[in-house]
Amino acid sequence: KLSVLNNMAGASERTFIMVKPDGVQRGLVGEVLRRFEQRGYKLVALKMIHPPRALLESHYEEHKGKKFYDPLLAYIGSGPVVAMVWEGLNVITVGRKMLGATDPAKSDPGTLRGDYGIVTGRNIVHGSDSESAAKREINLWFRPDEVSNWVHTAERWIYE
């Protein structure tokens, strides 16, 4: 049994979060981890990877042909990223709120992009924007055996 809670449907929702190369270079890996961890979400997968071109083509397939596509792939492929999977109630939607808007200039202070970013092309962090995207991205970046199913013993203090 992976949860002590019987009444918390949805607490096993998962999202894919990635610290982009600028976030790594700027020393924000710990900050991103800290915010999700301290919020109460459960970290179930984590790795540093210098993403190969084919992986990024797959990840960003919806943007192929757009004018920012080539610079985007060059940017994300320019260095290692830190890929992670977080689990918890509404983590996809709440995770996106914690990131802020795509354009840091439109992100509220208190969000990662609103606190640390200035331009869209260097917006520090990625987060899945829907259930289907989360599923697709988690499967793309992680093998099943790289995702840990563990009991979060604090969950009874996080959920009611």
Binding-site residue positions for ATP: 20, 68, 96, 102, 113, 123
All residues at 6 or more sequence positions from 7 whose CB lies less than 8 Å from its CB, including other chains: none
Which residues define the annotated binding site? Answer: 20, 68, 96, 102, 113, 123
What residues are paired with 30 via a beta bridge?
A: none
Which of 111, 123 has the CB closer to ligand UDP? 123
Which of 20, 42 has the CB closer to ligand UDP? 20
What does the binding site for ligand UDP look like in residue numbers (CB under 6 A)? Answer: 68, 72, 102, 120-121, 123, 126, 129
Asked if 11 and 136 touch (Cβ cutoff 8 Å), the reply is no
Cα(67)–Cα(43) distance, integer angstroms: 34
- Which backbone phi and psi does 75 adopt, to 5 degrees? -65, -55
Residue 126 falls in the annotated catalytic set: yes
Smallest gap from Cβ 44 to ligand UDP, in A, equals 21
* Catalytic positions, written as ranges: 126
